[in-house]
Chain A
Amino acid sequence: MMLFLARRTAALVVAVLLASFVVFLIPYVTPGDPVRKIIRSRVAGDAIDDSAVQALSAQLGLQDPLWTQYLRWLGRFASGDMGLSYTSRTPVVDQVLPALWVTLSLVVMTLAVAALIAVILGIAAALNEGRAADKAITAVSQAFIAMPEYWLAPMLVLVFALELSVLPSAGWEGPTSAVLPVAVLALRPASHFTSAVREGMLDALGAEHVTAARGRGLSYFHTVRKHVIPNGLLPLTTLAAVWFAGLLGGSVIIEVIFAIPGMGRLLFDGVLNSDIPLAQGAVVVVVGLAVLLTTAADLVHGLLNPQVRLRHA
């Protein structure tokens, strides 16, 4: 188990380092003078003449080899100095941290809602396999897999915010403002989760040890509660891990549509306005977060499964 985790984590640390290196390279590969771009992200002053550029370039070590620059950049990043945003001229970190909390709460709420729906519907479908309820649940969850969020969101806004005026159409203030974004964002994971729970439950129901449990005299409900549901829900933990990353990406479009001041919105603005420091900060933080959450979900999965836990002991 520890070895397994160590290997996974090592790979993911490498992933973050790789991603950060690629991000670090943005000012060098995009059109324009990298030195000027970097200076602009480090120094507050607006108009800088050529002699000042020369001086600052030497002072900031921009003539050093690339990898020294990278290590220095990484060190600054780790200590929370992500440079100045081109557009707002304020430190990027001051924009990133509040946005991080917004996105994190959006994603966690979404995942919780999706998992809750999936557990209820998936179990209901599996226990009624082949009957009308199962067919209806399966059909609906299939349909929502094909549902584009960027279409559903404006439609829901049209109905609930503009026609009925029961929910706010945008922003991130108060619990009501979270309803529509979470609902839209949760749909696709909920559909995927539901089919995963259904499959998992059917596998668990068909497992031979369930027959054996009945043979020991356990009642049907006791067997389902103790031997089927825990095993049937296990695939959900793996899937949830995968979806953390997917949702952080999916939240970009939702945050843009609903004007939510989260990481996705920040990243989008950074790219749209060619605000390199902002984009750099947002990408590294989002990727770091995705990696962190994926590892956490892996850990949970491992702890719940003795075969994984003990094999890698």
Chain B
Amino acid sequence: MPEGLLIEDLHLSVRAPASRPVLSGVGLSVAPGEFVALVGASGSGKTMTALAVLGLLPPQIQAGSGSISLGGTDLLRASGAELNRLRGGRIGMLYQQPKRMFNPRMTIGSHLAEPLKLHRGLRGRQAREQALGLLADAGFDDPARIARSYPHQLSGGMAQRAMLAVAMAGQPELLLADEPTSALDKVLERQILELIDNQRRRHGLGVLYITHDLATVSAFADRVVVMDAGCVQEEGPARTVLGAPRTACARELLEACALTRRRIAAAGEPGPSRDILALHGVTKRFAKGRGARPALDNVSLSLREGEILGVLGQSGSGKSTLARLLVDVEAPDRGSIARTLSKADGKNDDGGAGSGVPGTEVQLVFQEPHDAFDPRMKLFASLEAPLRRQRTCTADERRDRIHQAVRDVELEPGMLDRYPSQCSGGQLQRLTIARALLLGPAVLICDEATSALDAVTQRKVLDLLLRLHRDRRLSLIMISHDMNVIRYMSHRVAVLYQGALVELAGTADFFANPQHRHSKELVAAARAHPTACAAPVACSDLAACAHRGSGRLGTTRLLELVTSPDS
């Protein structure tokens, strides 16, 4: 009897009339105690594979030929009752959005009680004790409080750990994890992966870890299976696949992870110059009431003319609030913001920075390009709207200026006839930049401006920003959670943590020698993932990193990933 999960030649297709294949001949196996990473871009069929294992395919998908077996049980032909015993009993599952996977009206404890009763026949006190034990195993310090909590009271990371406890409640032999960390930041991601790895070692659990991000699993996976377009493209030991990918598809995935990290020399260093934006002790509070933490707490920060300032912060650090304050959408509760934006030399008619319309000298580029344009307006109308305020401008002038701005961001004016939904994210992000530049701002704030873009597009947009910075003497504030973006772009780095400015240093200094506890954590988490450890200092940790992964990833390859320029 074969042990573990074995998928052989699995075919899935969308039911007629649309009938088209979803999976064609997928085969993979997960031995007990083995950590297998199933990697692929979105739409490659990874999630369908997992759902097929659980027997929970959506009704419009049907299984064709092939077989799925777990420890000898044929999952495709199992009866409903058998499948119910399997799910949660022999197979545990983790999901991408853990908070949505809990019933909002039940406590975590009652969620745990279900599999304990169904699969292990535990009730009452015994079940409660088991539940607390499971929560403790999932890394909670106070399991009793968590058991009493409702899902909405947990953060994303906590919810995923609670979900792990639920998944482990039935003492499964296989854990299916469907992108369990892609909604979490790097620190939490690492924590979850370590917990899963722990469970694997303690219980001899087979893990099928589905992800689009090779970097995530490189330190943990025994084997990697790369999927694309419903087929397995490449499969092998993690070291082989990551070190020497054979197929184009695997190479692409690897490259997408290894982000831009070489600085363009042309960006240069800003000379000694005056501050054009200065915050003095700025505090902003949204939630009223006792104990509510201010979104920004006594932040003093300045932007020099012609500088690129990186603002690094995780979600909830107050970085978006900072952006909103700077563009004057919000007013600070305390403190002041000084803007000395107009050019000292007065004249500037070359369309460069500082020739802008009063009140709009600081412009903003948003994270979500598809959201930045009114979906009901053609792009031209969207770009023209802010110009209409200037009565001096005729319709022809407006058109010429818009066309010029669009060419400046390396797009064709012809596309302005389209609606936002007909454009790619990269195109739209360029148009947001063009729209901001139409007003001739002195400062451009990019709030996670490239986070929603894929790696290649991200790089192109960053380079565009660097060119504009150089050509137009535009000052930039890059707000991001992404170490690579910050490192690639900025002259100086400011770190926001829980609303406070905890560190401000030159980029090289910062990555070499972070001072604050949180900065150290960030840099360390980035190091744990080879593709993210762009800082030179990371190299010294590489050996440890490779060791942690039990030699699953060759040190050579790691060094290569870190040091090679990728363009």
Contacts and interface: CB of A to CB of B under 8 A. Distances in A.
The short answer to whether A and B are in direct contact, CB under 8 Å, is yes
Interface of A: 207-209, 211-220, 227, 230-231, 234, 304-307, 310-311
A215 B85 contact: no
B499 interface: no
B115 interface: yes
B95 interface: yes
A240 B276 CA distance: 58
A220 B84 CA distance: 9
Given A216-B87, A216-B166, A306 B105 contact: yes
B105 A212 contact: no
Contacts of A216: 87-88, 93, 111, 114-115, 118, 166, 169-170
Given A209-B103, A310-B152, 4 more contacts: A214-B54, A217-B118, A231-B104, A310-B153
A218 B166 CA distance: 13
* Nearest 4 CB-CB pairings of A with B: A217-B88, A216-B88, A212-B101, A217-B87
B118 A212 contact: no
B62 to A, nearest CB: 18
A249 to B, nearest CB: 32
B119 interface: yes
* Residue among A213, A234, A304, A305 having the largest count of chain B Cβ atoms under 10 Å: A213
Nearest to B100: A208
Nearest to B119: A217
Contacts, number: 76
Contact of A208 (B81, B95, B111, B169): B95
Contacts of B89: 217
Given A214-B56, A217-B89, A307 B97 contact: no
B419 interface: no
A307 B106 CA distance: 10
B86 interface: yes
B140 interface: no
A306 B87 contact: no
B80 interface: yes
12 contacts: A211-B56, A212-B101, A215-B54, A216-B169, A216-B170, A217-B86, A219-B81, A220-B80, A231-B103, A307-B152, A310-B150, A310-B153
Interface in B140-194: 150, 152-153, 163, 166, 169-170
Contacts of A214: 54, 56, 87
Contacts of B106: 227
B56 A218 contact: no
Contacts of A231: 103-105
A216 B97 CA distance: 16
A15 to B, nearest CB: 26
Contacts of A217: 84-89, 115, 118-119, 170
B153 to A, nearest CB: 7
Contacts of B81: 219
A208 B101 contact: yes
Contact of A307 (B85, B95, B150): B150
B115 A212 contact: no
B150 A218 contact: no
Given A212-B95, A306-B150, A307-B152, A218 B118 contact: yes
* Residue among B89, B106, B153, B170 having the largest count of chain A Cβ atoms under 10 Å: B106
A174 to B, nearest CB: 42
A276 B105 CA distance: 49
Contacts of A207: 100, 103
Given A209-B100, A212-B102, A218 B95 contact: no
B309 to A, nearest CB: 37
A213 B85 contact: no
Nearest to A306: B150
* Residue among B56, B81, B84, B100 having the largest count of chain A Cβ atoms under 10 Å: B84
A127 to B, nearest CB: 14
A219 B170 contact: no
A215 B85 CA distance: 10
Interface string B478-519: 000000000000000000000000000000000000000000
Given A212-B93, A306-B105, A219 B84 contact: yes
A219 B56 CA distance: 12
A213 B114 contact: yes
A214 B111 CA distance: 12
A218 B56 CA distance: 12
Contacts of A310: 150, 152-153
Nearest to B86: A217
Contacts of A311: 152
Nearest to B91: A215
Contacts of A304: 105
Given A215-B93, A216-B87, A306-B150, A209 B104 contact: yes
A310 B154 CA distance: 13
Interface in B58-96: 80-81, 84-89, 93, 95
B90 to A, nearest CB: 9
A228 to B, nearest CB: 10
* Residue among A207, A208, A227, A310 having the largest count of chain B Cβ atoms under 10 Å: A208
A223 B480 CA distance: 42
A211 B93 CA distance: 11
Nearest to B89: A217
A222 B216 CA distance: 37
